[in-house]
Structure 1
Amino acid sequence: AAMVAFRRALRYETSPDNVAGVAATASLVSDRPKLGPHRAHVAIQTLRTTVTYSLELQKGARNRQEEEDLVSRMVLNAVAEAAGLEERLPLPLLPEEMTESSRAEAPAGWQQVLLGQTPALMVGQMPKAPASGMRAILSGAFNPLHQGHRRMVQVAQELYGLHVEYELSLDNVDKPPLDYYELTRRLTQFGPEEVVWLTRAATFVEKADLFPGATFLVGADTLRRIADPKYYGSQAACQEAWQRFAQRGCRFLVFGRDWGIGFIRLGDLDLPEGLRALCREVPPEQFREDISSTALRRAGQW
């Protein structure tokens, strides 16, 4: 939310150095008992840093007004920090309470991507030109990077001769933008010899502009979203997008996915012929990894 606030504030201020986003969320005492803890989280987003503060309040020690006063002080202190002020309001904490904080600093390259000054920033070693000349891009949120992703890369390299690079976008059509803390967390999953491109390309049309001639590795679920007109505003815009894919020389290598109703393959999708012509399927005997990022997060494995 702090990154959303920061991005929104950029519309009204020409100098990004003068902009900050502050966000807060809290679960406090109410007229009904809460099962979980009382807690508050405050975040600050500037061009250079993401800072977070978290506090778990002792249950039953304060009334609603007292808890609101404490959280309000946390928020005002965050605003003061974002403004570069040294003064802070005292926090009336109990002996058992302590604020926890984290800070993520952004290199200059990340800042340039955030501001749209650099369309794509390479993280990792310079990629070697593939002998086949065939380049592939695996785009994703990588929350987390799991065995399914690794297996897709392996299949693309060993069976199809593709040289695979990753792409991680700060923006996502279905999710909030990434802040520097989350970006750092996700990038640390990759090895030093793996190439990751950092972009703001939320849609595959934008990705095709950045990586012309590339083959995109996609799950059948992702391909279904690529074909959905709701992401383009109209059916006409949707058709224009497929034409741009073709004009950029881009293709899709499609991997089957388990959606809970069964294993879905390319042939199971209702796709327009213009888009289907750009697709090639990996047979299920070559790839089947029924791994869900959501399930991994719920299981506490990320």
Structure 2
Amino acid sequence: MNDATRQLIRAIHDSPPRAMFAAAGAGSQALADLLGVPGASRTLLEALIPYAADSFDEFLGGAPEQYVADETGRLMAGRALARARHLRELELWSPIGLACTATIVTDRPKKGEHRAHVAAWTPERLRAYTLYLEKGARDRAGEEGMVSGLILNALAEASGLAERLALPLGAGDRQSAETYDFAAPAGQLARGEITRFGIEPDGRVRLDAGPGAVLSGSFNPLHTGHTQLAETAEALLGRPVAFEVSAVNVDKPPLEPAVLLDRLCQFAGRYPVFAGRAPTFVEKSRLYPGAVFVVGFDTAARIIHPRYYGDSEAAMRAALAEMRDRGNRFLVAGREGDDGGFHELSELAIPEGFAGLFTAIPARTFRNDLSSTEIRAALRAEAMKE
């Protein structure tokens, strides 16, 4: 390791963020260098080298269209960020998802270009880098050194550092980078300049048409009850289900942009997610016309209760009619109540004329009694023990 690399890594170790790192095809030298400088535990949460296709697919949650591609690198970084955020639990440091997918010199000739796709995803932004290396200009160690240097530079930038390693690019090499900004739309949402925005699993920001099916909530935290419900709804509807983090709620203060961005980290690399300013479902209907809303029993009960419409039966019916006329409907999952019983849609007295607005998810198809409140309480109790 040269002095410049050692100095950069020391600065990375002294910076606040902590990272989960995943690399395939190249990048092992970057990991070795990070571990070779004292203080690595202040930077690395964990590292994964998913070389085999089965390991790679399991990490991503499915096989990518192409293993060495810009989109795949971003998906890997998203999965790494979600993992880093999960490992953080109740601590306050900022997470980084760092990833590399590459194809470089090996023991057999390769038809395609030698290249690496590196990405660093933080709550505020995703920075994706592509490096093409001239074939025959370097041996395996030389190409590995170039890719690892790029990885360390990406980590340094994500950590807020100005220092960079000088990469000796040749005439036949080329490097590019692209930034996906999440902080800007989050700020616009908080100021009321936009009403919603979305983030695709690969980091692309969506300001255009909304999803066809939506599972909305605070997701504090996201858990398997949410993801299994979304998967069940997708199977029943035959269309993708996007999550929506409610930035503005009826009974709670609006989420600050930093809090909202932190919640959105949980979906990175795996699930499409939107953030919206609509606190009620009739307002969500205006944001997502024609969408199916996936809800639980308790939410469905509130949707048809006049109490949530200023104790006005007429206002409740007008809201239901507006949602129906806009093409929205509700897919309702059963849920365990405070009384310990499991309650389903059939128990609700749907107002006359609106039965077609609600469809039940049978308990035999889906049941998960996890509670975000209970999960948060368990995390706090665990933190107090430490």
TM-score for the superposition, normalised by structure 1 = 0.60
1:112 aligns with 2:188: yes
Equivalence for 2:320: 242
- Alpha-carbon distance in structure 2 between the residues aligned to 1:179 and 1:119: 15
Structure 1 residues 180-237: Cα deviation after superposition (integer angstroms, max 9, x where no partner) = 3321221111132421111110000011111111110000011111112222222211
Equivalence for 1:260: 338
- Alpha-carbon distance in structure 2 between the residues aligned to 1:275 and 1:168: 27
- Alpha-carbon distance in structure 2 between the residues aligned to 1:201 and 1:240: 17
Q: Structure 1 residue 296: deviation in Å?
A: 0.7
Letter in 2 for 1:236: A
**Does structure 2 conserve the Cα–Cα contact (< 8 Å) formed by 1:170 and 1:198?**
yes
Q: 1:222 to 1:101 in 2, by over 3 A?
A: closer
1:199 to 276, 299, 305: 276
2:363 to 284, 290, 293: 284
1:164 to 241, 245, 249: 241
**Does structure 1 conserve the Cα–Cα contact (< 8 Å) formed by 2:213 and 2:292?**
yes
- Alpha-carbon distance in structure 1 between the residues aligned to 2:352 and 2:368: 27
Letter in 2 for 1:170: A
- Alpha-carbon distance in structure 2 between the residues aligned to 1:290 and 1:299: 15
Which stretch has the larger CA shift, 245-254 or 187-196? 187-196
- Alpha-carbon distance in structure 1 between the residues aligned to 2:185 and 2:191: 10
Give the 3-state SS of the residue equivalent to 1:121 in structure 2: strand
- Alpha-carbon distance in structure 1 between the residues aligned to 2:288 and 2:92: 38
- Alpha-carbon distance in structure 1 between the residues aligned to 2:296 and 2:354: 15
Equivalence for 1:299: 378
For structure 2, list consecutive stretches of 5 or more residues without a partner in the other structure.
1-90, 95-122, 125-181
Q: Structure 1 residue 163: deviation in Å?
A: 1.3
- Alpha-carbon distance in structure 1 between the residues aligned to 2:318 and 2:225: 31
1:152 to 217, 221, 229: 229
Equivalence for 2:198: 122
**Does structure 2 conserve the Cα–Cα contact (< 8 Å) formed by 1:229 and 1:238?**
yes
Q: 1:101 to 1:295 in 2, by over 3 A?
A: closer
Letter in 2 for 1:115: R
Q: Structure 1 residue 270: deviation in Å?
A: 2.6
Pairwise CA RMSD of aligned residues? 2.6
1:211 aligns with 2:288: yes
Q: 1:249 to 1:229 in 2, by over 3 A?
A: same
Letter in 1 for 2:336: D
2:348 to 261, 265, 269: 269
Give the 3-state SS of the residue equivalent to 2:241 in structure 1: strand
- Alpha-carbon distance in structure 2 between the residues aligned to 1:214 and 1:275: 16
- Alpha-carbon distance in structure 1 between the residues aligned to 2:274 and 2:216: 9
For structure 1, list consecutive stretches of 5 or more residues without a partner in the other structure.
1-99, 129-133
Structure 1 residues 151-196: Cα deviation after superposition (integer angstroms, max 9, x where no partner) = 1111112233121011112111122211133212211111324211
- Regions of 4+ moved over 3 Å: 100-106, 125-128
**Does structure 2 conserve the Cα–Cα contact (< 8 Å) formed by 1:141 and 1:168?**
yes
- Alpha-carbon distance in structure 2 between the residues aligned to 1:217 and 1:271: 17
- Alpha-carbon distance in structure 2 between the residues aligned to 1:239 and 1:288: 30
Q: 1:101 to 1:159 in 2, by over 3 A?
A: closer
**Does structure 2 conserve the Cα–Cα contact (< 8 Å) formed by 1:127 and 1:195?**
no
Q: Equivalent residues in 2 for 1:55-134 (5 A)?
A: 107-124=183-200, 125=202
Equivalence for 1:96: none
1:176 aligns with 2:260: no
**Number of residue pairs matched by the alignment:** 198
Structure in which a larger fraction of residues adopt helix: 2
Q: Structure 1 residue 101: deviation in Å?
A: 8.2
